[in-house]
């Protein structure tokens, strides 16, 4: 006997799917495929709720028949996703075809309802068996389900064979295929039981409900991945946002010292952490190049990438102190001590990840270096202002003071 889905299992699944659907309707609805997937869950959720409206384990129940119709309407959206590539992405074509697919699903649902109504009027418990109503329900439900899932499965295989998907998308693609195969296996068991009576698992409606419930929860979990990633990014918990926060003090000080390197304000990166991180690294790199001539000594302008690779904790700190002095010197109006070719930091990084790692190491020791350098540079500026001039004013005497000459002397 097949154990029916109890409310202890069904209601948590309904609540979970509802939460995922609400999140997707709010945040994941930009593309046509997103909207088609959201419609899939809308109809699936309606079907799960209808299953809870009856305790009759037979297809003759009106609620069960409507639930089968909702399942078919949900599957038509998978058909639309599978055929999306054939439309060239044209919205009018996609929705025109989708209306046709939905019309076919509605016609199949009407057949199921008519067969169920006939059985109820005769006082019979309709199930998938080799009689008129049973065959009608089997064809009306099984054929559209098979076609829709096959189109969806074939499109997924085509995308996976292209080989240009990310690792995460590839894993999700294979997982979606596993769900389709499970639906096919469940359908094969139903066909065998209807045709031969084996395996003797009792009424088929509880098995269909269990398969639908499991598949809806499984697909909701898979399609919740982009929603979770989006919510993490909006909360500022993704790696790019965390890196931006760590670089913020260093970036703020360097761009204040070298404001001419700041990119155009028209480039809005406030809502995209990856773009914001790229912009910050570019501006920090440019600022470091401009501050190169202000470093304490040309021989001390050691490439920061080399200091990081050396593994010495003191070397990044030393570089940060020299950079902080250079920044304060430039902001204080001092003349660059080395205006010639100065070794430029960070040019040895061969990729973005390496450069970012070096900058994060610099940002980690930057606050202490900045605080220590502020006092030292202020003293240096005071000493420069107090230094006697090497060019005495006109008519200055030996002491450098202006001499007053009598008229007519």
Q: Give the pLDDT means over successive 10-residue stretches in the chain (409 positions).
A: 80 97 94 95 96 78 90 95 89 94 95 80 58 79 94 94 88 94 91 78 82 95 92 87 92 90 64 86 89 61 46 68 83 63 49 85 88 58 44 42 38
Residue 100: C-alpha distances to residues 36, 80, 104, 105, 109 (Å): 14, 10, 6, 9, 14
At 157, list the tokens: 């295989």
Cα–Cα distance, 228 to 234 (Å, whole number): 10
What global pTM score does this model have? 0.74
Q: Tell me which CATH code domain 7-234 carries.
A: 1.20.1070.10
- pLDDT, residue 384, reads 44
Dihedral of alpha carbons 198, 199, 201, 206, sign: negative
- pLDDT, residue 350, reads 66
Tell me the residue length of the chain. Answer: 409
Sorted by where each begins, the domain ranges of the chain are 7-234, 239-384
- pLDDT, residue 223, reads 93
CA-nearest of 276, 382, 388, 398 to 333 is: 382
Cα–Cα distance, 233 to 272 (Å, whole number): 9
- pLDDT, residue 216, reads 96
CA-nearest of 360, 365, 335 to 349 is: 360
The answer to whether residues 60 and 125 touch, using CB atoms and an 8 Å cutoff, is yes
CA angle 204/207/209 to nearest 5° reads 110
* Residue pointed to by tokens 């809870």: 52
At 57, list the tokens: 């384990």
Cα–Cα distance, 20 to 38 (Å, whole number): 10
Cis bond leading into 93, ω under 30°?
A: no
* Phi-psi label, residue 311: left if phi above 0, alpha if psi -120 to 50, beta otherwise: left
The answer to whether residues 339 and 290 touch, using CB atoms and an 8 Å cutoff, is no
């Amino acid at each position: 006997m097949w154990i029916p889905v109890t409310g202890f299992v069904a209601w948590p699944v309904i609540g979970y799917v509802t939460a995922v659907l609400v999140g997707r309707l709010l945040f994941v609805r930009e593309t046509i495929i997103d909207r088609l997937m959201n419609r899939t869950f809308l109809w699936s959720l309606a079907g799960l709720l209808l299953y809870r409206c009856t305790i009759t384990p037979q297809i003759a129940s009106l609620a069960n028949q409507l639930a089968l119709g909702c399942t078919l309407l949900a599957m038509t959206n998978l058909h639309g996703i599978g055929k999306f590539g054939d439309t060239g992405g044209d919205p009018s074509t996609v929705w025109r075809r989708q209306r046709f697919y939905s019309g076919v699903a509605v016609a199949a649902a009407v057949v199921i309802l008519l067969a169920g109504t006939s059985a109820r009027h005769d006082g019979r418990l309709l199930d998938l068996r080799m009689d008129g109503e049973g065959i009608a329900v089997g064809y009306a439900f099984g054929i559209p389900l098979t076609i829709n899932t096959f189109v969806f499965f074939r499109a997924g295989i085509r995308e996976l064979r292209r080989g240009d998907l990310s690792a995460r998308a590839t894993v999700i693609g294979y997982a979606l295929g596993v769900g389709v195969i499970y639906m096919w296996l469940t359908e094969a068991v139903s066909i065998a039981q209807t045709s031969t009576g084996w395996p003797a698992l009792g009424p088929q409606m509880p098995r269909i409900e269990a398969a639908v419930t499991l598949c809806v929860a499984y697909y909701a979990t898979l399609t919740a991945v982009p929603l979770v990633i989006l919510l993490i990014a909006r909360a500022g918990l993704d790696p790019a946002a965390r890196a931006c926060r760590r670089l913020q003090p260093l970036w703020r000080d360097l761009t204040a010292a070298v404001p001419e390197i700041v990119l155009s304000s028209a480039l809005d990166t406030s809502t995209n952490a990856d773009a914001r991180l790229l912009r910050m690294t570019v501006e920090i790199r440019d600022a470091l190049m401009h501050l190169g001539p202000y470093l304490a000594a040309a021989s001390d302008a050691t490439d920061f990438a080399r200091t990081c690779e050396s593994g010495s904790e003191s070397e990044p700190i030393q570089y940060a102190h020299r950079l902080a002095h250079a920044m304060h010197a430039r902001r204080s109006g001092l003349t660059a001590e080395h205006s010639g070719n100065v070794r430029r930091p960070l040019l040895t990084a061969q990729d973005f990840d390496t450069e970012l790692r070096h900058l994060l190491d610099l940002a980690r020791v930057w606050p202490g270096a900045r605080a220590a350098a502020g006092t030292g540079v202020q003293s240096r500026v005071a000493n420069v202002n107090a230094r006697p001039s090497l060019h005495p004013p006109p008519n200055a005497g030996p002491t450098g003071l202006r001499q007053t000459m009598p008229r007519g002397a």
